[in-house]
Amino acid sequence: MKITIVGTGYVGLVTGTCFSEVGINVVCVDIDQKKIDNLKKGISPIYEPGLDEMIARNTEKGRLHFSTDLPSCVNDSDVIFIAVGTPPDEDGSADLKYVLDVARTIGQHMNQHITVVTKSTVPVGTAAKVRAAVQEELDRRELGIFFDVASNPEFLKEGDAINDFMKPDRIVVGVESEKAQEIMARLYKPFTLNGHPVIFMDVPSAEMTKYAANAMLATKISFMNDIANLCEIMGADVNMVRKGIGSDTRIGNKFIYPGIGYGGSCFPKDVKALIKTADTVGYSMRILKAVEAVNDDQKSLLFNKFMSFFTGDVRGKTVAIWGLSFKPQTDDMREAPSLVIIDHLLKQGCRVKAYDPVAMHESKRRIGEVIEYCKDPYEATIDSDALFLLTEWTEFRYPNWVVIRKLMKNPVIFDGRNIYDAVELKSLDFSYFCVGVNTEK
Ligand code: NAD
């Protein structure tokens, strides 16, 4: 089987590489010439553990190719996956411009049956728009070709994307014909041999499944953050409450960690898009609107604690930041809480010194040199008035506090991920603040 993946971002590149790993002939296409030139040289545009080696292996075996020329790939493909970005439009809805551009190009060149699959996260009804866009081009060329459209949303997590793709909890595929179901079942067979199921359904349900999944996960996070904030006011410890509720199998212990709000390229955008979709059909997603509001506030939580610790007198203070990416194991900073916090600090006239194991190049690209970048976590703390822990990279788990105590001008820590031990830090004369526990009582 030959497939083309259009869009070589986090999703497209991982999808294409993993399909080639099981022996399928894959071409990954992107409009970004530099990205493709680099990939041909073995340079990956993203940080994703294990991906570079997998790309190198499959490129060498001749199963994985990179191109900017979609038209020349169209008729050489049994299946074309559309995995381009669907960024939020000005009103929060998903911008389908890139998806439909690709669909039109496919229609302009298709001469045989192809299954066109949307892998990007797209609102209910998008596959129908993709079908219409392809059909319009075929009609223009006066060609009566039968083709399929399917929806195959992606559930991988950045940072663990290869594992998620190779051993998925489930694969969701929305189809409109038996032929498309057969093709998709064949394509995914290597991934389902160990009991990982493909769940076939109709196309709108598949499209909705992706949004419902992300909305549910975002809801868990905001719910827990709301509980955490109340715990702090009421004198309860959210870490204990989390263990207490997580042990109930109906609730489960995953995704109920309090923190400084969800970020990344998916949850914020998908929650917004689902709210917007519902609004356009006259239905209000009341829970999701609250989820979003709680999350927006949560991103400022540590900054507010910092302000009240210094009773607002923060101008000229030096702040060390550990972690810039929106979560560990990725260089992705889209909608990262760090961006909100840095913005607050700079507006208040603070000096910011940051360290992140992989996201500093991305930070330089996004916000430039408005903050200082340090070569390790210790350098960031030199002469600092406060330390913010924003991303729970493993290398931040057990720092040498004795050394840090000497390096910092003022020993106060704002832990946005609840990874440090309040008792230990207090014994070393640090002031310590986290989420959902009143550590100063
Ligand atoms: P990304 O921004 O990393 O990559 C998108 C790529 O598409 C870019 O390289 C861009 O140059 C390319 N592109 C845009 N228009 C193109 C065109 N006309 N032809 C060829 N290439 C084109 O995006 P991503 O994070 O990989 O996300 C892609 C989709 O998958 C989005 O809908 C997203 O919501 C969804 N998704 C993302 C994740 C994630 O963790 N990142 C997980 C599941 C689903």
Alpha carbon separation from 437 to 205, 409, 423 (Å, rounded): 40, 25, 12
User: Confidence class of residue 193 from pLDDT cuts 50, 70 and 90?
Assistant: confident
Centre of ligand 1 to C-alpha 4, Å, is 14
Centre of ligand 1 to C-alpha 357, Å, is 24
Binding site as annotated, residues for substrate: 155-158, 210, 255-259, 263, 327
**CATH code linked to domain 2-201:** 3.40.50.720
Binding site as annotated, residues: 30, 35, 86, 121, 155-158, 210, 255-259, 263, 269, 327, 334
Active site residues: 266
Binding site as annotated, residues for NAD(+): 30, 35, 86, 121, 158, 269, 334
ipTM value greater than 0.95: yes
Centre of ligand 1 to C-alpha 108, Å, is 22
Residues lining ligand 1, Cβ inside 6 A: 6-12, 29-32, 35, 83-86, 98, 101-102, 120-121, 154, 156, 158, 265-266
User: Confidence class of residue 226 from pLDDT cuts 50, 70 and 90?
Assistant: very high
Q: Which atom of ligand 1 lies at the shortest distance from residue 155's CA?
A: 43
What is the average pLDDT value for the chain, to the nearest integer?
Answer: 97
Q: Which atom of ligand 1 lies at the shortest distance from residue 332's CA?
A: 41
The best mutation among 27, 51, 73, 84 to test binding of ligand 1, ranked by most ligand atoms within 8 Å of the C-beta, falls on: 84
Q: Which helix (H) or strand (E) holds 175?
A: none
With tokens 């309090």, the residue in question is 258
Residue 58 has pLDDT above 80, yes or no: yes
**Domain edges within the chain:** 2-201, 211-297, 299-433
Alpha carbon separation from 191 to 14, 114, 186 (Å, rounded): 14, 22, 10
**Closest Cα to atom 14, ligand 1: which residue?**
84
**Closest Cα to atom 11, ligand 1: which residue?**
32
pLDDT at 440: 78
At the fourth CATH level, which superfamily is domain 299-433? NAD(P)-binding Rossmann-like Domain (3.40.50.720)
Count CB atoms within 10 A of the CB of residue 136: 13
Radius of gyration (Cα) for the chain, nearest Å?
Answer: 24
With tokens 């990956």, the residue in question is 44
105 Cβ neighbours under 8 A, 6+ residues apart: 70, 71, 74
pTM of the model: 0.95
Centre of ligand 1 to C-alpha 193, Å, is 28
Are residues 125 and 106 in contact, defined by beta-carbon separation less than 8 angstroms? no
pLDDT at 90: 87
**pLDDT, tens only, 235-287:** 999 999 999 999 999 999 999 999 999 999 899 999 999 999 999 999 999 99
Centre of ligand 1 to C-alpha 153, Å, is 12
**Distance from C-alpha of 119 to C-alpha of 121, rounded to nearest angstrom:** 6
Fold of 211-297: Rossmann fold (3.40.50)
